[in-house]
Amino acid sequence: MEKKQHVDFIIVGQGLAGSLLSYFLLQENQRVVVLDYPHKGTSTKVAAGLVNPITGRRLAKSWRFEEFSSFAKHTYLALEEELGVKIWNYRNIVRALHSVFEENEWVRRSGYPEFQPYLNDTPTTADFEDKMQPPQAWGELVHCAQVSMPAFIEAWKKLLVEKQAYVETDFDYQHISLQGNKVSYGKWIAEKIIFCEGAKATENPFFKNLPFLPTKGELLLIRVDGLPETRIYKQKLFLVPIGSGLFWAGSTTSNEFDDANPTVAGNEKLNADLKASLTVPFEIVAHLAGIRPTVSDLRPFLGLNAQFPEFGIFNGLGTKGALMGPFFAKQMADFLLGKGEIEPEVDIERFELGTHNGHFFTKLNS
């Protein structure tokens, strides 16, 4: 029998949640192994990575933006230095206001003290307006940023491999067992196993009752010659510069889908929105899709299984993962190390998990 390798934590999934959690645990000199498999539909690898203070048609202030964005900036800049890749990009968002009502609402919100630092109703548009369909007016969101998510994930994976802390494997729940107060999987035995699986968490028998609402998004990678890459554009859709003249264009949103593959309908919708946004030609380089682990109350999931505290979860970052991921990854790491508590708003104890987990585990070990 192969001798077990002792680690402190097994982390399942190397998306944004798993990457950030492993980062903070390694900062505390914990022994970590990250198990990951590049499943189709992983949302992190196609995410725009926006850090946006004001969102949606109703111009809603992002939850605890000042606190989360300050921590995110500090974390990503530290990761840039460690990994030697560009991750944090300062980019304002110029946003089309399509009606007199939208323009008036923008001006009205600009007068609120909590909105005032973020809304500019007289942006400079000379460098791009001849390439965009003219709206009623333009507004600009300031103090925004964009996180280069794929670059971060790939660079962090490389570092984990160098530390012999990464294994590519398709995780099988049937192979988990408990040995005393430790959890065993494959050749590893750990204090705890933490699931950071993204949308695949809906298949996890230990956390299956959590109210995930997986959302599928489709996007195009396009090339638009001459469109400045210094800002992010929101016309009929977002246009996010990702380097080398390429833009992330999207995305669609659907809670009803058959699989993680791009669709003809999605392609047609994105093309129509691009033609309604741009006055210049564009070249489609790729059509991609991903499934986000969104949550019914728009708050992430942090915590341990009530019946089996050896099993934990850090998931549900949704569309604001780039913004709040670092803050809650640090909170989860501190909690696991006995250095802090999980806030009630994100603790999984806010939901009833039921008793099916115990039945599954009893069957597993019988």
- CATH of residue 125's domain is 3.30.9.10
In contact, 15 and 153? CB cutoff 8 Å? yes
Q: Is residue 323 part of a domain?
A: yes
**Has residue 308 been placed in a domain?**
yes
Measure Cα distances from 139 to 147, 251, 259, 320 in Å: 22, 20, 37, 21
Read off the pTM.
0.93
pLDDT at 225 over 90: no
In this predicted structure, the answer to whether residue 140 has a pLDDT above a threshold of 60 is yes
Q: Which of 360, 344, 323, 342 is nearest to 149 (CA)?
A: 323
User: Which pLDDT value is given to residue 352?
Assistant: 62
Query: Burial, 115: exposed, middle or buried (Cβ in 10 Å; 0-12, 13-18, 19+)?
Result: middle
Pair 176, 185: CB distance under 8 Å: yes
pLDDT at 362 over 50: no
Which residues make Cβ contacts (< 8 Å) with residue 44, sequence separation at least 6?
Answer: 15, 16, 19, 149, 150, 153, 198, 290, 321
Q: For 44-70, what is each residue's pLDDT tens digit?
A: 667 889 999 999 888 999 999 999 999
Same domain, 157 and 137: no
Q: Does residue 315 sit within a domain?
A: yes
**Mean pLDDT of all residues in 332-357:** 85
Strand partners, 218: 289
The pLDDT of residue 364: 46
Examine the fold and report which residue of 292, 323, 346 is the final residue of a domain before the chain moves on. 292
Confirm if 320 and 64 have CB atoms less than 8 A apart: no
Task: Provide the pLDDT confidence category of residue 42 given band limits of 50, 70 and 90.
Answer: low
User: Once rounded to an integer, what is the mean pLDDT over residues 286-298?
Assistant: 90
**Same structural domain, 178 and 41:** yes
Query: Containing domain of residue 127, as a range?
Result: 92-143+215-292
Both 200 and 253 in one domain: the answer is: no
Note whether 224 and 284 are same-domain residues.
Answer: yes
The rounded distance, in Å, linking the Cα atoms of 71 and 69 is 5
Examine the pLDDT at 300 and tell me if it is beyond 70: yes
